[in-house]
Structure 1
Amino acid sequence: MENTLLTNLFIVDDHQLVVDGLRALLNNENKYAIVGCSNQPKDVLPMLDELKVDILLTDINMPEMSGVELTRNVKKKHPSIKVLALSMFGERQVIKEMIDAGISGYILKNTGKHELLEALDKLAKGQTFFSEEVTKELMKSFKNFDEVPHLTNREVEIIRLIECENSNKKIADMLFISERTVETHRKNIFRKTGTQSLVGLLKYAYEHKII
């Protein structure tokens, strides 16, 4: 009988070796089922029409159709599917394009099994995940927050700490304020920027030339 608790995965990469490697890594994970794979991104959408897919793992640099275009098309036709980007590179412009296309996570191909599973677990719960290397690359561009007039200096500090995936309690301890105060700041930040998630906040920062 089918296990309804399984999270169904679909893998897209033009290199069969990468597909085989991911299958081998996830083969014995009882929370996940690989329901499809493809080396041809142009063939993916019709295949998704026939399958129940929860998370799509996709390469970015592929011939004929890039991961950016594929993600954009998948999110347009199947908005419930979460997309996890896999890449050899963590360049800011590429990350921005993938975020704009609608990804929920971004990890590098040199990652280990632990981080891959952590990313999949986060996405399966409706959360986002960006690897440490990707986050560091984005953080290099965080500057001139004071040029955004409606964000206070304290809110800027908290945005940086949120972006690094610190919990409310950890932020409170680091800034010597109460956890309740952090929660209030978070609500104000998301309200002022008109965002509701880390991905939305990053998109806001890009659009306003903060990063």
Structure 2
Amino acid sequence: MSTNSTIKIAIVDDHPMVLEGLKSILSKEAYDVYAFTKGTALLDFIQSNSVHLILLDIVLNDSNGIDLCKKLRDRLANTIIVGISNQAEKSIILEFIQAGGNGYILKNSDNSEIITCIQQALLGNLALSQEAQRIILQAPVNNLALPKITKREKQILQAVAKGHTSAQIADQLFISLITVETHRRNLMQKFKVKNMIELIRIATENRLFD
């Protein structure tokens, strides 16, 4: 995807003013934007059309955003799904990510933060607005027996949770990109997870960032 104009983004929100506002923000960045007020309309659309990223409200008139995320993930394995909502409960944010979401943006985010989160999601990173990051880092302690992590692994885990790329982490910690990638692989193996999103969920639930 060389230019924004080649990137197709679908927005689902049942508030017309919010929908138009998001559409305006993304259109100014030259993304190809499709807007829907109902989850069923999006499901009909994706039967014959492909999109790279879906911005999904959590509370919709005709569906629950978390349930819709699960349906979309079953049908669209490679499509990026990011929640955008006023729902600021940590349980909802984590449940959305567990349902297959690639990120979560609170609607009180400003335009630049929304764009930054979308860019991070398109790069394959967990995309969380700053407020969403703060909320999930307060997740309750789980009594699971967890593997020990080193100080360096913790630093990398914290940076990933903030949406930083491997290249950015390498620059911040003054280590090589290969070293960062090795630590990421080791962390996934330690926690027996398939991706970094699942690892971040476990880390936040067990307060590994404290």
Say which of 69, 90, 93 aligns to 1:95.
93
Counterpart CA distance in 2 for 1:91 and 1:124 is 25
Query: What CA RMSD, in Å, does the superposition of the two structures yield over aligned residues?
Result: 2.8
Aligned twin of 1:21? 21
Once the two structures are overlaid, the 10-residue window that deviates more, 69-78 or 149-158, is 149-158
Aligned twin of 1:71? 69
Counterpart CA distance in 2 for 1:183 and 1:111 is 30
Aligned twin of 1:33? 32
CA contact (8 A) 2:126 2:160 kept: no
Q: Percent identity?
A: 24
Q: CA deviation at 1:15?
A: 0.8
Q: CA deviation at 1:124?
A: 2.1
Aligned twin of 1:190? 188
Say which of 138, 146, 151 aligns to 2:148.
151
Distance 1:187 1:131, change over 3 A: same
CA deviation profile, 1:112-149 (whole Å, cap 9, x unmatched): 1111111222222233211111111111237579x635
Distance 1:126 1:186, change over 3 A: closer
Q: CA deviation at 1:156?
A: 4.5
Matches for 1:78-157 after TM superposition, within 5 Å: 78-141=76-139, 148-152=145-149, 154=151, 155-156=153-154
Once the two structures are overlaid, the 10-residue window that deviates more, 54-63 or 196-205, is 196-205
Q: With structure 2 as the length reference, what TM-score do the two structures score?
A: 0.80
Q: CA deviation at 1:182?
A: 6.0
Q: CA deviation at 1:67?
A: 0.8
CA contact (8 A) 1:12 1:39 kept: yes
Counterpart CA distance in 2 for 1:4 and 1:113 is 16
Aligned twin of 1:9? 9
SS at match of 1:86: strand
Distance 1:158 1:62, change over 3 A: same
Counterpart CA distance in 2 for 1:50 and 1:182 is 39
Amino acid at match of 1:210: N
Amino acid at match of 2:206: I
Consecutive unaligned residues in structure 1, runs of 5 or more:
none
Distance 1:157 1:6, change over 3 A: closer
CA contact (8 A) 2:103 2:126 kept: yes
Consecutive unaligned residues in structure 2, runs of 5 or more:
none
SS at match of 1:120: helix
- The structure with the largest alpha-carbon Rg is 1
